[in-house]
Every structure is written in C-alpha cells, then in structure tokens.
Amino acid sequence: MYNLKTVLLLGALTGMFLVVGKLLGGQQGMIIAFFFAVVMNFFAYWFSDKMVLSMYGAQEVSYEDAPWLHQIVEDLARRAGIPKPKIYVVNMHVPNAFATGRNPNHAAVAVTTGILDILNEDELRGVLAHELGHIKNRDILISTIAATIGGAISMLAEMAFWSNLFGGRDEEESGIGGIIGSLLLFILAPIAAAVIQMAISRSREFAADKAGAEISGCPLCLAKALEKLETAAQQLTPVAEREVNPGTAHMMIVNPFKGDIIAKLFSTHPPTQERIQRLLELAKQMGQV
C-alpha cells in the first residue's frame, strides 16, 4: 500500500514538473523539463548522501571510537537483513538522527551529539532501528528525488513569473492576464509540490516506525524516544533554526522545527503523538503492554 501510494505521489510530482515546463516553454519546455529532471535525479542518486553529510560536517565513527554504537547498528542490520551502514556523528545540540544513501549497500546513519546526550541505549536502539527501516525501504532515495523535483518546480515557476513580467514571452501570452497567470503559478505550484512531498514523507515515517519497531523488537523503546525528541524539539526550535538546513528537515526522525499553526500544517512529519499511539498499539499486538 505504501509503495503504491509513493509511486503515485512521485508520478504526480513529476507530472506537475512537466506541466510547469510546458507552461513556461510549450512543448519544447516540457521536453527540456523532462531531461532536466533526469539529470537532476542522476546527481541526486549518486551524490545526495555525500552532500548531506558534508553539509553538517558529519564525522564517520570508527569501531575503536564507539564499539558499543557499532555493535548496536551491526545487530540491528543483521535483524533487518541489510548490510551494516556506515555510522556518522554530527556535532549538533539538536537531538535528532537521519539516514542517507542510494540503497542498502551504500548507506549511512547519522546521529547528533544532542541525541546521544538525552536518550538511553534502548531508546537510541529504537531510533537507529527506525533509520535502518528507512534504508531497508529505500526511503532516502525516494525523498531525495521528491525534494529535487519539488525544488525544480519552484525554480521553473519563478522563471515563468519573471519571464512574463519582463516580456520574455510572446505577445499572445504577455500582458496582465499572462502576468496574473504566472503569479498564480509562482505561488501555487511550489505549494502543491510541497503538499505532495509532505504526503510522501509522512507515509514513509509511519512505515519506518513500524519497520523499526519490528527490527528492534521494542516498539515502546522507539515510542519513548519519540516522546523525548518531541519535547526537545519544542524547546530547541530557535537552536534548530541555526543548526538545521530546512531542506533536509524531512530526513530527520522528528521535525526539528516546531512553529505556529501554519508551520505544523506544512510539517514534513506526521504528528508525533499519532506515531507514538501507533507504536503503542503495535506493542499491544506483540504482547508487550
């Protein structure tokens, strides 16, 4: 069900990208947009993990530096049936974690120093199992493609607006009507793309929670971790605004930005309380409550 929904949402996002390209440059614009999407996703596929890790100055952790951390990840990877990913630590006060990589054979998990400070070993194990769930489900590649296409839609819509505003289109498409149409495209296209991206991200978070709980065998451990991380996120939003790149917020295990009602409406994550409730229900099914 999740896979079908993701495919449909990615298809909708790609279709929107082509439509914007057609509105910007007709049939030729749509073709250019298509090839542009192919090139962008090629680079996203091969280099997104290195870009994100370098963005945060993540340092790979050797076995000698943290044998206990390697042992946890190694055990979880074995239980998940995937190769052990590389382990990175990000020097960041905001407690969070994320996974990256194009497939299970080329993956990495990263934890912040903040999360190591507030979670006990069982809770951290639940978080790492969640991230391995993302790797097993190949969510990182999906979210990277969604983010890349979404960003391109915003860029094309902006190009269409400024081109029409300064007379870059022919006479039939210029004038007040053309400018108003481009303005609406400029405003609505990025919003529509963001909504689709959020739908993809939220669906995958629920799936990773379930997969992580099954991998670790302890839904309650992840539930307790999410509760702590949610509380910390609410307290540290000003810090997150300095330390976290908004373009990577969808990769984090919890949304690091806790703002007003509008911010919550456009959150890349489902409500943490709903995630916790689902984990509690799973714990009941496993006879742990």
Among 64, 121, 123, 131, the one annotated catalytic: 131
> Cα angle at 168 between 164 and 173, to 5 degrees?
55
Which residue type occupies 140? I
Question: Do residues 145 and 193 make contact, with C-beta atoms less than 8 angstroms apart?
Answer: no
Q: Measure the CA–CA gap between 267 and 201, rounded to whole angstroms.
A: 9
With the C-alpha atoms ordered 50, 52, 56, 60, is the resulting torsion angle positive or negative?
Answer: negative
In terms of Cβ atoms closer than 10 Å to its own Cβ (0-12, 13-18, 19+), residue 285 is exposed
**How big is the chain by its Cα radius of gyration, in Å?**
21
Q: Measure the CA–CA gap between 237 and 254, rounded to whole angstroms.
A: 12
131 catalytic residue (yes or no): yes
The catalytic site residues sit at 131
